[in-house]
Amino acid sequence: MVEMAFNYEVIGRAIWGDLTKKVAHDQLTTINQETLAHIKAFNDQISMDDVMTIYQPLVQYIRLRYQQYERALVERQNFLGEPVLKRPFVIGVAGSVAVGKSTTARLLQLMLQAEFGEKSIALTTTDGFLLPNATLKARHLFERKGFPESYDMEALLTFMTKLKEGAEELRSPRYSHEISDVLPNTYDTFKEPKIFIIEGINTLQATPNAPVYVSDFFDLSIYVDAATKLIEEWYITRFKALLARTAQSGDATNFFWPWTQMPLSQAVEIAHNVWQDINLPNLEQYILPTRERADLVLHKVSGHQIDQVWLRKY
C-alpha cells in the first residue's frame, strides 16, 4: 500500500507562515485595509490570522507560478514564430461539498485582485454546469446530484476550451445555494481575465467519453481537505444558516421553505441523511480519490483553520 501524500512536501502552518518573510520586500504584497474590509464584508468568520499566515504566502506562490507561466507562453510562441496569445492562468479548486472551496476561491480572488487589479481576476464555479433540478428529477438523477453524471460535462469542457483559447467574452451559468438550483438564463460574464479561478467538487475528475480532463486546462490546482466528520459538521452549519435566512425572508417558494416549517431537530436530521446518502458517498467514491492530483493541498482542522499546506513534489 502506497502511503498517502507521499508525493507532497508537507509544510506546517508556522513554517509556511514564515515564507513571505524571505521574499524581497519590493515583491511582497501588503494586504491593505481595503482588501481586509472586502474580506470581512464577504465572510466575517474568516480568520485574519489565516489570511496573513496562509493566504499571503499562497498569493506570493501564485504570483511566482503566474510569472513562470507568462514566460513559458512567450517562449513557446517565439519558438513557433507566432504572436503571443492572451491565455489566462487557470486555477482549479477542488474538495468535498461544504469543505470551504467557494470561500477559499473568493478569498483568493479578493487577494489576487488587490495585486493584479479587480478586472484581471475572474471566478466561477462548476455548480453552474449541474443539470437543473427539473432535468435531474426527470432523469431519476436527483439523488445523484453532485455525482459525475449530474453535470453537463460537455458544456463545461467547451467553456474551458474557449477560456484557454482566449475568447474575448465568455459566460458561465450561475448556481444558487439559496434555491439549490441552477438559475435559469443567468450568467456570469468574463472579459479576458489574467487569472481565472474555477472551483467545484469535480474539477480534478476524469471526464467519461471525453479525450481531456477539466484539469488539463489548469495551471495550478488546489484541493481543500479536512477530516470527513468536520466537513459533515460544516455542511450542517451551512444548512442551518440557509434555513435561518429562508425563514427570515418569509419566501414560501424557496427550496428550503418546507424545512423551516418543521422543528429544527427534524430538519437537521434530514440534512444528516442527505449527507450520509449523497454527499458522503460522493466524497469517498469520487472526490477524495482525486486529492493526490492537486498541486497543492490546504489541510483544515477545527474552525476551518489551515494547519498544513502540502506542496506537490512531483
Nearer to ligand PAZ (CB atom), residue 99 or residue 170: 99
92 in a labelled binding site: no
265 in a labelled binding site: no
User: Could you tell me the smallest distance in angstroms from the CB atom of residue 138 to ligand PAZ?
Assistant: 17
146 in a labelled binding site: no
For ligand PAZ, the binding residues (CB under 6 A) are: 97-98, 101-102, 127, 145-146, 180, 201, 274, 278-279
* Beta-carbon count within 10 A of 256 CB: 20
Nearer to ligand ADP (CB atom), residue 91 or residue 99: 99
Binding residue for ligand ADP, selected from 8, 213, 217, 234, defined by CB under 6 A: 234
Q: Which of residues 235-264 bind ligand ADP (CB under 6 A)?
A: 237-238, 241
Q: How far apart are alpha carbons 92 and 312 in whole angstroms? A: 15
* Beta-carbon count within 10 A of 314 CB: 4
The reply to whether 99 sits near ligand ADP by the rule CB under 6 A is yes
Using the rule CB under 6 A, give the single segment among 72-80, 91-99, 168-176, 271-279 that binds ligand ADP: 91-99
Using the rule CB under 6 A, give the single segment among 40-48, 110-118, 206-214, 276-284 that binds ligand ADP: 40-48
212 in a labelled binding site: no
User: Could you tell me the smallest distance in angstroms from the CB atom of residue 57 to ligand PAZ?
Assistant: 25
Q: How far apart are alpha carbons 38 and 105 in whole angstroms? A: 14
The reply to whether 100 sits near ligand ADP by the rule CB under 6 A is yes
* Residue (of 169, 261, 160, 266) closest to 213 by Cα position: 160
Helix (H) or strand (E) holding 222: strand 220-225
Binding residue for ligand ADP, selected from 27, 32, 43, 302, defined by CB under 6 A: 43
Q: How far apart are alpha carbons 105 and 198 in whole angstroms? A: 8
Query: Residues 164, 85: contact at Cβ < 8 Å?
Result: no
Binding residue for ligand ADP, selected from 62, 91, 97, 309, defined by CB under 6 A: 97
The reply to whether 103 sits near ligand ADP by the rule CB under 6 A is yes
Nearer to ligand ADP (CB atom), residue 72 or residue 241: 241
267 in a labelled binding site: no
95 in a labelled binding site: yes
Spell out the long-range contacts of 107-110 with Cβ–Cβ below 8 A and sequence spacing 24 or more.
Answer: 107/39, 107/42, 107/46, 107/51, 107/55, 108/55, 108/58, 108/59, 108/62, 108/197, 109/197, 110/35, 110/38, 110/39, 110/42
180 in a labelled binding site: no
Strands of 121-162, DSSP E: 121-125
User: Could you tell me the smallest distance in angstroms from the CB atom of residue 72 to ligand ADP?
Assistant: 31
The reply to whether 158 sits near ligand ADP by the rule CB under 6 A is no
Binding residue for ligand ADP, selected from 87, 101, 291, 293, defined by CB under 6 A: 101
Q: How many residues does the structure list for the chain?
A: 314
Positive or negative, the Cα torsion across 44, 251, 152, 85? negative
Strands 220-225 and 170-176, by their bridges, are: unpaired
Write out the binding residues for ATP: 95-102
